[in-house]
Structure 1
Amino acid sequence: MKLLKPLFLSLMLAASIPAMSQYTDVINSNRPGVSKAAFSVGTNVLQLELGGYTNKEEHTPLNYEVSGFGVDFAARFGLLLEELEVNIEGIYQNDTFTSNASAIPTEDKRSNFRTFTIGAKYLVYDPYKNAEEDKPNIYSYHANRRFKWKSLIPAVAVYLGVNFDTENNPYVPYTPFAQSLESGISPKVMIATQNNFAGGWVFVMNFFKDRIGTDFSDFQYILTLTHSFSEQWVLFGEAQGIKSDFYSDNIFRFGGAYLWTKNFQLDANIAFNAKDTPSVFNIAFGASYRFDWHKDKEIDNGGKASDKVDTSKRKTKRKKKNTDFDSDNI
């Protein structure tokens, strides 16, 4: 519970920063990659992201293999401010660990949460907040698609979360964990950046420290590049680096997503690495859906903001602008 107090204080501090709108008329999903975009889902928006994957690992030196499946999930909600998002996310896996080190192979069936985290993300800098001022050139297609130097300045968000790990979890080094923490609670911090380039290109970077204070804390980075080919289709490539005293790896993902409706997205991807300690190969499918209760702020004559416009029924120029996934990494 002591870790929850700093989280609460950080959210209150973030609430004192002036607001900048980032709601979009189409869903902003973090899927199918595992990186987090800098932007939140928007106030009064509940977004659910769910996927299933196969898991295949082979460790040549230790002569074991793992085969199974898992489910990854996230629930994201825009709370109080456009920039603030609270979320719950996790990965549950069920597999069979087979050791071939002896003449007679042994099997161990395992199942538990690989991760379960509650946290919050806050957008601290938005270079696109005045994007409405950059009106399109109606006389030149190429002028609207050309590179802009200011697009090199990314949006920046910070994330603070709390991990919850159970005892005897086969996916967590239990002995050092038991010596390091009580109740299986540890913090996670992250910086997320996002660049939206012309032509439907989006580049997202995540840098985070996970399970801080434990003997098996790790540092990770995730680089995700996406490109939208139309208002519905997007492809992506992703590189993830992991470094800890217990495990180091570089994992690559490729896949795509399809925007079925403005509130519903489907996706698929494959993941693999380039080593045999162990080798990794996963195939994943998923979907994202949002419940949109967002209302724009309308300024009255007294200069006060009030929730009066139901964005689920409005028709604006922003919808055309955002249907190419440019507002998020997917």
Structure 2
Amino acid sequence: MDLHIVKKVLFTLCLIPLFTSAQYTDVINSNRPGRAVSAYAVGKNVVQAEVGLVYEQQDDASINSDSNIFGADISLRYGLLFETLEINYEGTFINQNITFTDLGTDETRTDFTRNRLGLKYLIFDPFKNPENNKPNLYSWRANNVFQWKNLIPAVSLYGGATFNLGENPFYVGDPTISYRGAIATQSRLSPRFVLISNIAYDRIGTDFPELSYAVSVTHAFRDPKWSVFIENQGIKSDRYSDILLRTGVAYLISPNFQADFHLGSNFKNSPSRIFAVLGFSQRLDFHKDKLVPIEDQKTGVNGKIRKKDVKKKRKKKKKKDKDDLDF
């Protein structure tokens, strides 16, 4: 089948999720499928592995070559010290077989195209205070339609390093270590729609720093185990620039295990890319909730309970007990 026809079909399929019914769940809080990452950490003492098996067809009209790529994505996440902080490793290892048609030669390239370690910290969470997000007990519509306040996102900051080990054929000349900074936001547009956006500046300190963005919308089916997503990613660098579109589904097999599948493509021919990814996410949950006595609670801890209110209740109770004794 002609590659351009395949891309048109893929683009049409990408629009379908916007018109279906679906559901977002944070049971396992996986960043799969896609490249956009959540603003939220996995939770203190939670260990999580997210793995994807990749196949890609990549043709480059500018040098008259075509190639097949097989690889694997892996992300290892751990909730470190407290609820809002996580340390994560992200890696993509591929094997690319390239055929240069004009020269009649073949070449194989094998190495990491992504190999980084970093920390992500949640600096703002609009849902931290449950008092501001209570459901409306008198209106189903008010709880299920878009509200402007839903655009207020959770925000996290990321800082880390990208490692280039040995003679990497994909990043020739890069130093062993370069740096990466990113901002991730997440908005719960409605009970079924979640919007995630990322802006990142990668390979800082190399001759080819990379600026990128990713915007992803997840929508959930009435069956809470299924969800669909559509994602747009842009990459800008003197080495490689592109715009990618992805769409796919995720299925929650258990509260700690998720499977997913997605397709993606770009829209140029130097190189032209079309790919498919099958993925899995597994969580080992060693998290324990920290219970705080009511009188010691602050805003956002086990709900919003002010110390003044606790004191008032105590005074009322003492007065009631005294009145009972007087009677």
TM-score range, shorter chain: 0.7 to 0.9
Alignment partner, residue 262 of structure 2:
269
Alignment partner, residue 218 of structure 1:
210
Alignment partner, residue 325 of structure 2:
none
Alignment partner, residue 146 of structure 2:
147
Alignment partner, residue 78 of structure 1:
79
Deviation at 1:80, TM superposition (A): 0.8
Alignment partner, residue 39 of structure 2:
38
Matched, 1:258 2:251: yes
Q: Which amino acid aligns with 1:150?
A: K
Deviation at 1:301, TM superposition (A): 7.4
Are the aligned partners of 2:201 and 2:212 in contact in 1 as well (CA < 8 Å)?
yes
Give the Cα–Cα distance (whole angstroms) in 2 for the partners of residues 262 and 35 of structure 1: 21
Give SS of 1:299's match: coil
Give the Cα–Cα distance (whole angstroms) in 2 for the partners of residues 228 and 142 of structure 1: 18
Alignment partner, residue 64 of structure 1:
65
Report the TM-score when normalising by structure 2.
0.80
Alignment partner, residue 8 of structure 1:
none
**CA offsets 1:175-223 (integer angstroms, 9 cap, x no match):** 3x2xxx3xx1011000111111114101111000111010121100001
Alignment partner, residue 4 of structure 1:
none
Structure 1: gaps spanning 5 or more residues: 1-23, 306-330
Give SS of 2:204's match: coil
Alignment partner, residue 327 of structure 1:
none
Give the Cα–Cα distance (whole angstroms) in 1 for the partners of residues 148 and 29 of structure 2: 25
Deviation at 1:57, TM superposition (A): 0.4
Give SS of 2:41's match: coil
Alignment partner, residue 29 of structure 1:
30
The structure with more radius of gyration: 2
Q: Which amino acid aligns with 1:281?
A: I
Deviation at 1:235, TM superposition (A): 0.6
Matched, 1:115 2:114: yes
Structure 2: gaps spanning 5 or more residues: 1-24, 299-327
Deviation at 1:132, TM superposition (A): 5.5
1:94/1:41 CA distance change after superposition, 3 Å: same
Are the aligned partners of 1:25 and 1:262 in contact in 2 as well (CA < 8 Å)?
no
Matched, 1:88 2:89: yes
Q: CA RMSD in A?
A: 1.9
**CA offsets 1:81-123 (integer angstroms, 9 cap, x no match):** 1110001110000120111122xx1111221111111101000
Listed as ranges, the matches of 1:7-22 within 5 Å are: none
**CA offsets 1:44-71 (integer angstroms, 9 cap, x no match):** 1001100101011001121011212110
Count of residue pairs brought into register by the alignment? 274
Q: Which amino acid aligns with 1:143?
A: A
Matched, 1:244 2:226: no
Report the TM-score when normalising by structure 1.
0.79
Give the Cα–Cα distance (whole angstroms) in 2 for the partners of residues 246 and 186 of structure 1: 15
Are the aligned partners of 1:54 and 1:68 in contact in 2 as well (CA < 8 Å)?
yes
Give the Cα–Cα distance (whole angstroms) in 2 for the partners of residues 221 and 292 of structure 1: 31
Alignment partner, residue 168 of structure 2:
169
Are the aligned partners of 1:121 and 1:159 in contact in 2 as well (CA < 8 Å)?
yes
Pick the aligned partner of 1:285 from 278, 281, 299: 278
Q: Which amino acid aligns with 2:187?
A: N
Deviation at 1:167, TM superposition (A): 2.7
Are the aligned partners of 1:37 and 1:204 in contact in 2 as well (CA < 8 Å)?
yes
Are the aligned partners of 2:111 and 2:170 in contact in 1 as well (CA < 8 Å)?
yes
Larger helix proportion of the pair: 2
Give SS of 1:143's match: helix
Give the Cα–Cα distance (whole angstroms) in 1 for the partners of residues 253 and 101 of structure 2: 45
Question: Percentage identity across aligned positions?
Answer: 43
- Worse-superposed segment, 119-128 or 136-145: 136-145
Moved over 6 A (4+): none
Give SS of 1:91's match: strand
Are the aligned partners of 2:127 and 2:133 in contact in 1 as well (CA < 8 Å)?
no
Give SS of 1:198's match: coil
Give the Cα–Cα distance (whole angstroms) in 1 for the partners of residues 210 and 124 of structure 2: 26
Q: Which amino acid aligns with 1:29?
A: S
Deviation at 1:135, TM superposition (A): 2.9
Give the Cα–Cα distance (whole angstroms) in 2 for the partners of residues 246 and 185 of structure 1: 17
1:132/1:297 CA distance change after superposition, 3 Å: farther
Are the aligned partners of 2:258 and 2:281 in contact in 1 as well (CA < 8 Å)?
yes
Alignment partner, residue 233 of structure 1:
226
